[in-house]
Amino acid sequence: MRTASRIVLVVSGILLGIGLVTPLWRITLKAPQYPEGVQMYIWATRLSGQVELINGLNHYIGMRPIREEDFPEFAVMPWVLGGLGVLAVVAAVLNRRGLALTWAILLLLATVVGLADFYRWGYEYGHNLDPRAPIKVPGMSYQPPLIGSKQLLNFTAYSYPDLGGWAAFAALIVGGGVAVGECIGARRRRLSCFELRQHTREPLPV
Amino acid sequence: MTRERQLLRRALWGIPLVVAAAFVFSGCPGTKQTVSGGDVAQRVYVAPGQYDEFYGFFSGGFSGQVTVYGLPSGRLFKIIPVFSVNPENGYGYTPETQPLLMTSHGFIPWDDAHHPELSQTDGVPDGRWLFVNANNTPRIARIDLSTFETVEILELPNSAGNHASPFVTQNTEYIVGATRFSVPVPQKDVPIASYAQEFRGVLNFVAVDPQSGRMRLEFQILVPGFNYDLAHAGKGPSHGWVFFTCYNAEQAHTLLEVNASQRDKDFIAAVNWKKAEEYLRQGKYHEMPAEYFHNVYDEKRHTATSERLTRVKVLIPSECPGMIYYLPTPKSPHGVDVDPSGEYIVAGGKLATVIPVHSFSRMLKAIENKEFDTIIDGIPVLKYESVIAGEVQNPGLGPLHTEFDGKGYAYTSCFVSSEIVKWKLGTWEVVDRIPTYYSIGHLLIPGGDSRKPWGKYVVALNKITKDRYLPTGPELVQSAQLIDISGEKMQLLLDFPTLGEPHYAQAIPAEILMKRSAKVYPLQENQHPYVTRTPEQARVERKGNEVHVYMVALRSHFRPDNIEGIQVGDRVYFHVTNLEQDWDIPHGFAILGANTAEILIMPGQTKTLVWEPKKPGVYPFYCTDFCSALHQEMQGYVRVSPRGANVPLTYGTGSE
């Protein structure tokens, strides 16, 4: 791989590392009574922000309290993120574009699975409501948007990636793009993407 | 139109002009002075959602409280309970706060609060604490300016009428208190006519811990039995000194209005407290028996404790040369105010025809040259001509207090002529005057007694309002008047009613305080002995006749909210913890028939309501602060059975 590509891969590994130590996602709720907004942050390992306050407000609509211990994901996510970060660096150090492409595919897979899982949780919290809740609005569910904003009674819910999430996305787009680009380049030079031999600048065999 | 008719028309037009002129120049009796139009409304208008530029802290006088206003709008934000009980939130009624109002005379539910004083660093208000004095039963309170709550009250022994208080030194090393009514020291049963022999004054120096703000009565100076009235500490070059006015050098003990007004001059006592500290270190003090209370509210335990103290260190001027001097000052001086440079000491000789201004540097020189008139009980009296810097001629009648704008001008309130007089430091010439409505006492300029005043407004604190507002029967409010002093001429902007009787007030830029203001009490820091940190821990425990309810309040229910097994004769303690950690979500608690005030519990706080049910029955309790959409549902019941009934103690929430 080109040196530039290898640097991008190392940077991607670091970006995934940032995803480990900063929040991946942020949910903000705004209402007339909360002009300053109420925030919840989702990290790879935990939740932070005003979770108790959100639970307090949610009990009126019968939403299950959001509790960290209910999410097995927090045990898995750091390993997935950390592993992918290490893999990116390993691919760069060993200079193997096959490995880089594998990494990119795995990262894409993890992102898709992660977002799907996030959607599933949102659906469950938003629809699985206590029938004895004090506030019942016929036909109303309270699923937060996967990404974007949505009006839920007096609250506007905003759901967007936070620093770690943006870093992971950047790793996926830039690092993944470079890995795929390297493979396409190799194909053009009629080399296997999974060529084990280190790439040299030898003239192409005719 | 003929020329004659034209002339006639002009002449007729002239009549209303003449009438108007007559009103303007002679003043129309029965017509009140109002503002002169222009953009005045705009200058005090703080648009909805906007913030005021200054916080103003006004003493409540006979209300015993401190009120917090915004300036320039004059909007009231908070009443801080200090020396008087406050049934609105349980202050002085709950076991947590009752110790704050303990004194050597027992529990006192009221006092007369006069002078709010902001803590200072390097001579500038720093926004950490606000001190205020109790005049009747001598005490000083400290208010934490992050929670705007009273957190400490210290009683001052051997004192009576703690009026010259609680003025701070440049770095809040000390706050002072002095006796306005001299009394026998120590107190004893003597004829009142033995005043001259038995009665003494004390000047109290209360040390303030620079970190915690904790107060400690460091020492007292025993002085002749005059009436010590007001004080201010030196600053800059005069840092290390405190100046106290006194009247009644005649030592009258009856009909003071006549008998204490006979002498041409009374005094300002100048105390060198650094010298006093030296004498303390040398052990030149007398340890005297005394009884006084020190009450501290712990903001983590949400509980106050009282400590009874029994000794005080007393310094006697005749044994401590160089510690205190008297500056002769005309006619029963009231206020004593030190200008921002620290050089000029302005006295408000309330019966004097001039405002005398002493010079600190001249005072030092006079002391060095021993220019003494006489010596009273070991206190040298300096020569008036040796210490005076100048006299403001024809200032107005009844000059009381002076504040400074930091631009070289002083503003003196004149009670009798009901006006503020602006004059120039150094030339002593009066440059402007503005009437007040009516009978101004103190006045305030933000930072106006500090080294760096924010000289944009002066606020007049008036004693009499009469026709200024809609009448409300014989008892009327007092008022404050906001006056712009940014220009050459003072200009009245706003008139607003105040609570109680504000004596003094102080103001500080909002930006200094806003960022320090707490939003909630962190629940994890709550160390109240009866805290309930989670709903699961809510419970009821009986100990003989005492029943302790560990209750939580959380939108929108109490837990437990159904309690049975209480008996007539029980003493029930509702220890209510507000589990909210959300700004501006207090909960209240009250129960039918309780012979006490309700409690208002701030987020993260625990407070206790004590109830002694007298008759069997079922008693509802409820949240008194509209907390949420289902606030009306936030209620519960307690079943009270006759003494000895076999109803078991049970409790719960939500299980029907």
Rounded average pLDDT over B564-589: 97
Residue B282 near residue B321, CB atoms below 8 Å: no
Q: Do B580 and A56 touch (CB under 8 A)?
A: yes
The CATH number of the structural domain formed by A3-188 is 1.20.140
- Give the largest Cα separation in chain B, rounded: 111
Give chain A's contact residues with B (Cβ, < 8 Å): 50, 52-53, 56-57, 60, 134-135
Rounded average pLDDT over B56-77: 97
Handedness of CA A159, A161, A163, A164 (dihedral sign): positive
Task: Check whether B21 has a pLDDT greater than 90.
Answer: no
Rounded average pLDDT over A143-160: 94
Q: What is the DSSP letter of B162?
A: B
Rounded average pLDDT over B226-250: 97
Nearest to B558 by CA among B649, B640, B638: B638
Mutation to test the B interface, candidates A60, A132, A155, most B Cβ within 10 Å: A60
CATH number of the domain encompassing residue B99: 2.130.10.10
Report the SS3 class of residue A44: coil
Mean pLDDT of chain B: 94
Task: Check whether B25 has a pLDDT greater than 60.
Answer: no
Q: Do A53 and B582 touch (CB under 8 A)?
A: yes
Dihedral (C-alpha) B427, B433, B438, B441: value to the nearest 10 degrees?
-20
Query: Which pLDDT belongs to residue B52?
Result: 98
Task: Round to whole Å and give the CA distance between B564 and B640.
Answer: 7
Mutation to test the B interface, candidates A39, A59, A132, most B Cβ within 10 Å: A59
Domain contains B399: no
A107-144 pLDDT per residue, tens: 999 999 999 999 999 999 999 999 999 999 988 899 99
Domain contains B256: no
Q: Which token pair is B349?
A: 């000789």
Burial class (CB in 10 A: 0-12, 13-18, 19+), B432: middle
Rounded average pLDDT over B528-549: 97
Handedness of CA A48, A54, A59, A61 (dihedral sign): negative
Query: Which pLDDT belongs to residue B32?
Result: 63
Per mean pLDDT, which range of A14-23, B127-136, B223-232, B349-358 is the poorest?
A: B349-358
Task: Check whether B552 has a pLDDT greater than 70.
Answer: yes
H/E stretch holding A75? helix A73-94
Q: Do A135 and B629 touch (CB under 8 A)?
A: yes
Where a domain ends, among B319, B341, B374? B319
User: Where are chain A's structural domains?
Assistant: 3-188
Which residue from B554, B629, B633 is facing A56, i.e. has the nearest CB?
A: B554
| pLDDT band at A203; cut points 50, 70, 90 | low
H/E stretch holding B400? strand B399-404
Domain contains B165: yes
Task: Check whether B23 has a pLDDT greater than 50.
Answer: no
B260-274 pLDDT per residue, tens: 999 999 999 999 999
| pLDDT band at B27; cut points 50, 70, 90 | very low
Task: Round to whole Å and give the CA distance between B302 and B299.
Answer: 5
Domain contains B326: no
Per mean pLDDT, which range of A28-32, A181-185, B56-60 is the poorest?
A: A181-185
A55-82 pLDDT per residue, tens: 999 999 999 999 999 999 999 999 999 9
Which residue from B555, B629, B633 is facing A56, i.e. has the nearest CB?
A: B555
Query: Which pLDDT belongs to residue A200?
Result: 52
Domain contains B3: no
Residue B477 near residue B62, CB atoms below 8 Å: no
| Interface pTM, i.e. ipTM | 0.78
Domain contains B230: no
Rounded average pLDDT over A46-58: 94
Buried b (16+ CB within 10 A) or exposed e, A122-157: beebbeebeeeeeeeeeeeebbbeeeeeeebeebeb
Domain of residue B590 covers 530-652
| pLDDT band at B3; cut points 50, 70, 90 | low
Positions of E strands within B159-259: 174-178, 183-184, 199-208, 215-224, 227-233, 241-247
Which residue from B581, B629, B630 is facing A53, i.e. has the nearest CB?
A: B581
Domain contains B605: yes
CB proximity B554 to A under 8 Å: yes
Query: Which pLDDT belongs to residue B2?
Result: 56
Query: Which pLDDT belongs to residue B548?
Result: 98
What is the tally of structural domains in chain B? 2
CB proximity B633 to A under 8 Å: yes
Query: Which pLDDT belongs to residue B362?
Result: 98
Per mean pLDDT, which range of A15-24, A82-91, A195-204, B39-48 is the poorest?
A: A195-204
Query: Which pLDDT belongs to residue B28?
Result: 47
Rounded average pLDDT over B519-525: 97
Where a domain ends, among B319, B345, B376? B319
| pLDDT band at A190; cut points 50, 70, 90 | confident
Between residues A190 and B507, which one has the greater pLDDT?
Answer: B507
Domain contains B102: yes
Angle, helices A163-170/A3-21, rounded to nearest 10 degrees: 160
Mutation to test the B interface, candidates A34, A36, A39, A53, most B Cβ within 10 Å: A53
Q: Do B581 and A50 touch (CB under 8 A)?
A: yes
